[in-house]
Amino acid sequence: MAVERTNRDVRTLITQIAGGEIMLPEIQRGYVWKASQVARLVESLYRGYPAGSLLFWKTGQLAETRDAAIGKQQASPSVMPLYLLDGQQRLTSLFRVLTNHPDAQVVFNIETEVFQNQSAATRRNKKWIKVFDVVDPESDVFAIHGELKKAGLDIPDAEIGRRLNALQKITQRDFHMEVLHDFEYEEVADIFVRVNSGGRALKTTDLALATLSARIPGFLGQLEEESAHWANRGYGDLDVNFLIKALTLSLTTSGKRLASVAKLTAASKETVEAGWEKVRRGLSHVVPLLQERLLIPTTALIPSLAALHPLIHFYSRHPEGTVVAEEIETGLLYWFMAATARNRYGGATDTALTQDIRMLDTDNPVAGLLANLGIRKDGISVSADDLAGRNHQSPYLMFCYLAAAHAGATDWWDGGPISGSTEQSGKPQYSLLHPATKLRKKYSSAEINELANIVFVSERTAKNIIDNRAPAAYLQSVSASDRAAHAIPDDPAVLVPERYREFLAARRSLLAELITALLDRFRPSFLTTGATTTEISATRSLLLVGYSGAGRRVLVAEAKANSHNWTGWIDPADLEAALDAAASGLASDVPIGAETAPLRIDDEGSVTLGLGPFLVRGSLDQWRAAVKDAFEDPQPLAECPEPNDEQWPAEPEQFLLLNAGVQKPA
């Protein structure tokens, strides 16, 4: 084994990528850089800043590879290729810029020396030039110089020439390279995980994927193929990380604690392949069951995918061709809905999985699973109060959709089932029954965006039928049966903006009735008809409200726990920067008033931030959506409440971001 150290310029590296002399090994993940990151890389090369080194692996045997995201097929190499271990994002970005890729249209302002991605504004401004137009070997830089002189620049002609020359020379910039010779694949996999950790704690799934790729060449491709298979059927969130978790669970021995990733990485090839077949078998039962029985067309409706694991595990243990009793299937679907309503997998998922998977070994797995939810005799129902204050981020969004779908609700534009537009877009399509423009002067954004104001219809319905009209103006064209299926009140008096709160109260009641009827349809026979309600404690609440004015934005978190109140001010830019860091796996601190709170991301991609009495937990998408929603209709900064953000004296409690914005009535 040896390590070779050398240098190559950008143009040579790009040529080698095109010629297939630099390839991506299977263990590499996808291309993820944003346009702003690409522009910053080009700027670094222009200014002569360090751009980092590259790490390659050279072996005498062909290794499994994956396609590079360069927009074209690489040629078959005439020599043994170098496999890129560290530097994929940078080299892919540069290849795209230097080959005029449509998603890498980086432009340069010759006057300010600023780089950014192309926009309509930069196209109209002659001071902006496309980087490709200058670095292309066939470009006429003299002609470009001449055009720039006509643009009314405030810099001398000689300076224009100097800057164009510096831009041309980015292709001559050298990258330092280290090439690993004759290392074994498993060693290379370990090195790959380490160098790509970026200083953060390694994700266990990263290590598992790298190790499995080394031991079973082509296995990552199998995972990606399976993920793509379900994505084509609407279940696009069943990604490689989800499948690795399911595979790990498949190795769990009856009656024991959950198998760990360490057990997966130590398992034999035969054990892994057997477990993988079980996972695929489980998925082949569970996805059709959810789509055909529950009418869930897309994973975008499912609040926590972790709730699928017990179902997959149950079906994976049955040999191919086994017929599961309909009563058990129906009971499992009832448990899935009950677990979703009670946020079973909103907190420590491994603890919940351990408890639930153990119940699959009992004589009555459905009863055992429900017992873990505290449901032993009575079933569950949903009340109007349970829906109060909920918005589109609530788990109840799924129930509102399912209630409408099972009631036969249709789209008002094309007359087809509401699943049609959802299947086409990959996410639920909905609109506000009372348009925001009719309500903003009198009602808060939280009230306007309540679940009770959401109806599942297509964009065409929203544009051509609802538009900016109050329900009283357009609902007469909707049949009475379809209004009932969508849980829309019959009383025309509440369909005007002036009586919006009465409308919300009436619709919550109708939605609750439909949802409870749906739950009752799947209720196991051993449960009595008397039902308990699924509620969130009235003593715990969290509101996120945006305030804006005088060029300043403040995100206010108002928390209530056990009759105590806490109010904290957050700069949304600080929170968004921390979320961007979390997307790269990096932990950071978020200033909240005079204090700071840690923001952490776990192996499952959940982000936790301490806000007063709570450790608030949600996905990256949920956090970003929460910030966006808070500032869709911000309050005046002059009305911003004073912070009371001293460090909370007690141990913080877990709180789901999905429930933020919920403020139950006393």
Q: What is the pLDDT of residues 304-343, one digit of tens each?
A: 999 999 999 999 988 888 888 999 999 999 999 999 998 8
Residues 590/597, Cβ–Cβ less than 8 Å: yes
Residues 325/365, Cβ–Cβ less than 8 Å: no
Shortest CA distance to 332 belongs to which of 292, 382, 367? 367
- 143 in the same domain as 64: yes
What tokens were used for 97?
Answer: 């810029």
Indicate the pairing of strand 65-66 with strand 22-25.
antiparallel
Spacing of C-alpha 389 from chain mean position: 24
Among 14-18, 588-592, 625-629, 657-661, the range scoring the smallest mean pLDDT is 657-661
Q: Which H/E stretch holds residue 25?
A: strand 22-25
Residue 664 — pLDDT band, cuts 50, 70, 90? very low
- 349 in the same domain as 399: no
Domain stops at, among 180, 196, 212: 196
Burial 213-222 (b: 16+ CB within 10 A, else e): bbbeeebbee
- Predicted structure pTM score: 0.69
Q: How many domains are there within the chain?
A: 4
The residue count for the chain:
666
Residues 220/235, Cβ–Cβ less than 8 Å: no
The confidence score (pLDDT) of residue 603 equals 66
The separation between the first and the last C-alpha atoms of the chain, rounded to the nearest angstrom, is 70
* Full residue range of the structural domain in which residue 267 is found: 204-331+342-359
Residues 602/533, Cβ–Cβ less than 8 Å: no
Average pLDDT, rounded, for the chain = 87
- 518 in the same domain as 590: no
The answer to whether residue 666 is domain-embedded is: no
- 253 in the same domain as 118: no
Q: How far apart are the C-alpha atoms of 589 and 592, rounded to whole Å?
A: 9
The answer to whether residue 628 is domain-embedded is: yes
Domain stops at, among 488, 507, 533: 533
CA angle 45, 49, 52 (to 5 degrees): 85
The answer to whether residue 366 is domain-embedded is: no
For the chain, give the percent of residues with pLDDT over 90: 54
The confidence score (pLDDT) of residue 641 equals 87
Residue range 175-219, pLDDT digits in tens: 999 999 988 877 887 788 777 665 444 466 766 787 788 778 888
- 213 in the same domain as 164: no
The answer to whether residue 377 is domain-embedded is: no
The confidence score (pLDDT) of residue 532 equals 43
The confidence score (pLDDT) of residue 663 equals 33
Domain stops at, among 533, 566, 583: 533
| CB-based contacts of 662, cutoff 8 Å, min separation 6 | 388, 389, 390, 394, 536, 541, 542
- 354 in the same domain as 238: yes
Residue 417: pLDDT above 70? yes
Q: How far apart are the C-alpha atoms of 631 and 554, rounded to whole Å?
A: 9
The answer to whether residue 372 is domain-embedded is: no
Shortest CA distance to 413 belongs to which of 482, 487, 490, 484? 482
The answer to whether residue 376 is domain-embedded is: no
Q: How far apart are the C-alpha atoms of 551 and 557, rounded to whole Å?
A: 20
- 566 in the same domain as 520: no
Alpha-carbon distances, residue 329 vs 240, 392, 538, 579 (angstroms): 26, 29, 34, 39
- 239 in the same domain as 324: yes
- 170 in the same domain as 208: no
